[in-house]
A = this chain, B = another copy of it.
Amino acid sequence: MSSSGGVGVSPGNVAVYHGSNLMVVDRRVRVVEVVLRGVICGLGVVAAVLVGFDTQVKEIFSIQKKAKFTDMKALVFLVIANGIAAAYSLVQGLRCVVSMVRGSVLFKKPLAWAIFSCDQVMAYMMLAAVAAATQSALIAELGQQELQWMKICNMYGKFCSQVGEGIASAVVVSLSMVALSCISAFNLFRLYGGKRSGRC
């Protein structure tokens, strides 16, 4: 806090050094952020399409039965959650790219709070959707004999394996969302560290 800097190390130099250091970290964090948002957007659409357009028709004693994702409420939630996550990531990814091109750095607390909150909500929503869908899929695959809920995947094999692929994509989406929510927490809460500079 005093002006007892070494020879050639003026407060100006220190500020510039810190600034460029920060820029390097910022650029890396932002590249990771753009990549993750791209992954979420792409795989979110893949998961929604895989599950949403999955059907299988089976003939049982000359009665046609059709399996579709709306038969299982958890899959409807999964499709909706993936759609929302993909659309949200597209918007956020574009914002990221624009601010990278402009070279602007996120220092505004309200915007950082908004991004942090949305990312958190998305991460928890995606995780809840994946957990609920996995639970339903496990019952469909293994059955729950004690409750006389029969397994149905021996009848609708192709339908079930496609749902499995959709859930696998959704798992990657939700893990990416978790990583992103950590990044946006970093972007937000480091703004609160400045005041402490006199103490450490």
Q: How far is the CA of A200 from the CA of B74 in the complex (A)?
A: 47
Q: Are A198 and B2 in contact (CB under 8 A)?
A: no
B194 touches A194 (CB 8 A): yes
Q: Which of B15, B131, B190, B199 is within 8 Å of A198, CB to CB?
A: B15
Copies in the complex: 2
Task: Say whether chain A's binding surface is mostly helix, strand, loop, or mixed.
Answer: helix
Interface residues, chain A, with chain B CB atoms under 8 Å away:
1-3, 11, 14-15, 18-19, 21-22, 71-74, 107, 120, 124, 127-132, 134-136, 138-140, 144, 146-150, 152, 178, 182, 185-186, 188-200
- Asked if B194 and A191 make an inter-chain contact with CB atoms under 8 angstroms apart, the answer reads no
CA–CA, A14 and B199, complex, Å: 10
Contact A147 to B199, CB < 8 A, known contacts A3-B2, A124-B178, A192-B186: no
